[in-house]
Amino acid sequence: MNNLLRIILCLVLPIFCFALHDIQAKEDTNSSSSMNNIEKKLSDIYLFLNKHTKKIDEKITGNKSPAMFQNSSIHLETYYDIKENDKNKIGSYFSYRFDFPLLEKKLSYVFHNNFKKDTENEDISSINKKAPSVKKAKKHTRIKVKGGLKINNKPYLYLRVKIKKEYSNLWESNFKEEIQFTKNSDFHTISTLSLQRNINYFLDIKNTNTFRWDDKDKISEFINALELKHKLSYKKTLKYRVSINTNNDDSNMKVKDYNLGLEYKHKTRKWLYFKLEPKIHWEEENNFKNEYSLRFTMGVIIGK
């Protein structure tokens, strides 16, 4: 009976919290003057970030751009964890992400140009047959390059390359490679491959496979996750997630834990949000017994 009550509290409570709020069509336009001042300061910081990111991108590529950059951002997040049979934890992190559109354009050109060169040694008929697929690749394949600094208990710099492939209005896949460098010159990589199916405007389902490699401790970790995302409104989303974690930390490669939970996210402003994340864990170190946790998060995003 106790377990049933815990499951209800863990999984149903956020939905009940959502029901207490009226769905808002747009943000309150009658903001206080102090809130307007805060947003003006955030806007100035955002412009400053993009101005200097543009200089770095132009330096790397050797090209100039008349356009104003808009995708660099600062992300601050604070969280509070409540976990059964463990101490409550509070933590935070700071992340500065910079965007390189000029470098992305160069990489996209190389990617599509090489794709096109593969047909040069083939006969005319085979080239004609493949021509539509080349055109489709240019239209539906996107490359994004991002870098940044993340400060938490182990600060690190990272460089991330993401390739997004759209097969139709319903299906898309994403491959992401991230390289992390810590202050001790430790090297970490994260490779992620995901396949997403858009069910309708409000629902999509995604399968994600992530491989992490820690060069210092020689630890390999593989995470397989299935997630259903429900867009409740333009301010509120609900995610249901189940995942399996397999790694070789202090053992051979084997399953170490299972997780089932959800995430309720509410944007109160364009730059401010809250999250509530209840979970049920089954971990090997606790003989796969039920454990419950709850995380409350507050975050601020300056930029996109």
- pLDDT value at residue 129: 41
Check if the beta carbon of residue 262 is closer than 8 Å to that of residue 238.
Answer: yes
Q: Identify residue 2 by its one-letter amino acid code.
A: N
DSSP for 290-302, written as a single string: EEEEEEEEEEEEE
Which of 8 and 95 is assigned the larger pLDDT?
95
CA–CA distance from 103 to each of 76, 108, 167, 234, 300 (Å)? Answer: 26, 9, 24, 32, 27
Judge whether residue 68 has pLDDT over 80: no
Confidence of residue 278 (pLDDT cuts 50, 70, 90): very high
Check if the beta carbon of residue 182 is closer than 8 Å to that of residue 153.
Answer: no
Beta bridge partners of residue 265, listed in sequence order: 237, 275
Digit-coded pLDDT (tens) for 161-203: 888 888 888 899 999 999 988 877 677 899 999 999 999 989 9
Place of tokens 């493949």: 130
Judge whether residue 223 has pLDDT over 70: yes
| Buried/exposed code over 105-128 (b: 16+ C-beta within 10 A; e: otherwise) | bbebeeeeeeeeeebeeeeeeeee
Enter the pTM of the model: 0.71
Which of 289 and 15 is assigned the larger pLDDT?
289
- pLDDT value at residue 6: 53
CA–CA distance from 24 to each of 12, 27, 232, 234, 267 (Å)? Answer: 22, 7, 10, 8, 11
Question: Comparing C-alpha atoms, which of 289, 234, 235 is closest to residue 257?
Answer: 289
- pLDDT value at residue 85: 78
Share of the chain above pLDDT 70, in %: 75
Domains belonging to the chain, first-starting first, are 2-18+34-303 (2.40.160.40)
- pLDDT value at residue 108: 62
- pLDDT value at residue 21: 46
Of 75-84, 124-133, 175-184, give the lowest mean pLDDT range: 124-133
Judge whether residue 111 has pLDDT over 60: no
Alpha-helical runs (H) found in the chain: 2-19, 33-61, 101-117, 124-140
What mean pLDDT do residues 11-24 have? 47
What mean pLDDT do residues 97-109 have? 71
Q: How many helices (H) and strands (E) does the chain have?
A: 4, 12
Check if the beta carbon of residue 55 is closer than 8 Å to that of residue 45.
Answer: no
- pLDDT value at residue 110: 55
Which of 134 and 21 is assigned the larger pLDDT?
21
Distance of CA 96 to the CA centre of its chain: 14
Which positions ≥6 away from 264 have C-beta within 8 Å?
Answer: 14, 15, 17, 18, 236, 237, 238, 275, 276, 277
What mean pLDDT do residues 230-248 have? 93
- pLDDT value at residue 136: 41
Alpha-carbon distance of 31 to 22, in angstroms, equals 19
Check if the beta carbon of residue 236 is closer than 8 Å to that of residue 265.
Answer: yes
- pLDDT value at residue 199: 92
